[in-house]
Amino acid sequence: MPIAKEGLREIALATVVLALLAVLGIWLWWPAAIPIVVLWLWVLSFFRDPHRKRDFAPAELCSPADGTIMDITELAEYPPIHEPAVRVGMFLSLFNVHINRMPCAGKVLSVSHKPGHFLDARDPRAGEQNESTTLVLDPDCGLPGPVVVRQVAGRVARRIVCHAESGQHWPIGSRYGLIKFGSRTELVIPRRAGTEICVKVGDKVSGGITVLARQTTTSRNAAEALLRPEARITAGAKR
């Protein structure tokens, strides 16, 4: 199983510390080394980076993360979408793959990081109060936009890694970052007449594989037009 390069430091540190503990455990009482080895294997498993490839229809958005659907929330307005929207929140446990993937193909309009608290990622307040990184995407294929995807830290997750930058174009399902240890990922899309959420609360999803939503596509992408003037200026300044 491929390992995410972003986790090499943690794997190296865990290997050194757990190897010393395992040697001590074997010297004192050899069965004590068994849980230490299991813990080391879990660290390796946490940073697994499976190769995933799936073809999506132009109207489909894929899950940006592995995990469990915790909430599906209708929003009267959600900046920078500035129209009715729907938010799908996913909880990533300590046993899920923690790679984050692009929910659709498109251009990154902005990337913003917000310091915050470290509430349990399952807490309904976590999305608003916890440390987070937010990507705003101008989607391809006539999908309604902007599309917003958020990496939210949890009680254990204390480091968000995001490789996306304003102005870059990313294909759907491509890996753009990860959150180190249990966390939350959110997808926010415009709520239109043809919007179909393809999951329900409690469903297990796989990043880059599961179809999370379908939209009615148009002849052109109106994401930039939906941004308020001040938001367009900000997005342009960051490119």
Among candidate residues 112, 132, 183, 219, the one labeled active-site is 183
Confidence of residue 221 (pLDDT cuts 50, 70, 90): very low
- Cβ(81)–Cβ(148) below 8 Å: yes
Confidence of residue 158 (pLDDT cuts 50, 70, 90): low
Residue 230 has pLDDT above 60, yes or no: no
Residue 233 has pLDDT above 50, yes or no: no
31 plus 126 within the same structural domain? no
Average pLDDT of 140-149?
93
Examine residue 35 and state whether it is found in any structural domain, yes or no.
yes
Query: What are the φ and ψ backbone dihedral angles of 150, each rounded to 5 degrees?
Result: -125, 135
Residue 118 has pLDDT above 80, yes or no: no
| Percent above pLDDT 90 for the chain | 58
pTM of the complete model: 0.82
User: In 76-227, where does DSSP find H-type helix?
Assistant: 126-129, 223-226
Confidence of residue 121 (pLDDT cuts 50, 70, 90): low
- Cβ(147)–Cβ(106) below 8 Å: yes
Please report, for the domain that includes residue 121, its CATH number. 2.70.70
* Confidence (pLDDT) at 183: 83
The number of distinct structural domains making up the chain is 2
Examine residue 206 and state whether it is found in any structural domain, yes or no.
yes
Examine residue 54 and state whether it is found in any structural domain, yes or no.
no
* Confidence (pLDDT) at 227: 44
- Cβ(201)–Cβ(70) below 8 Å: yes
The rounded distance, in Å, linking the Cα atoms of 131 and 38 is: 30
Examine residue 118 and state whether it is found in any structural domain, yes or no.
yes
- Is residue 183 part of the annotated active site? The answer reads yes
Q: What is the pLDDT of residues 19-63, one digit of tens each?
A: 999 888 888 888 888 999 999 998 898 899 999 989 999 999 999
- Cβ(162)–Cβ(175) below 8 Å: no
Q: What is the pLDDT of residues 77-101, one digit of tens each?
A: 888 898 999 999 999 988 999 999 9
Q: What are the E-state strand segments in the chain?
A: 60-62, 67-75, 85-92, 99-101, 106-114, 132-139, 147-152, 159-162, 169-170, 175-180, 183-190, 196-197, 204-205, 211-214
* Confidence (pLDDT) at 182: 64
The rounded distance, in Å, linking the Cα atoms of 64 and 45 is: 19
141 plus 41 within the same structural domain? no
Examine residue 51 and state whether it is found in any structural domain, yes or no.
no
Domain enclosing residue 111, as ranges: 60-238
Residue 157 has pLDDT above 60, yes or no: no
Confidence of residue 217 (pLDDT cuts 50, 70, 90): confident
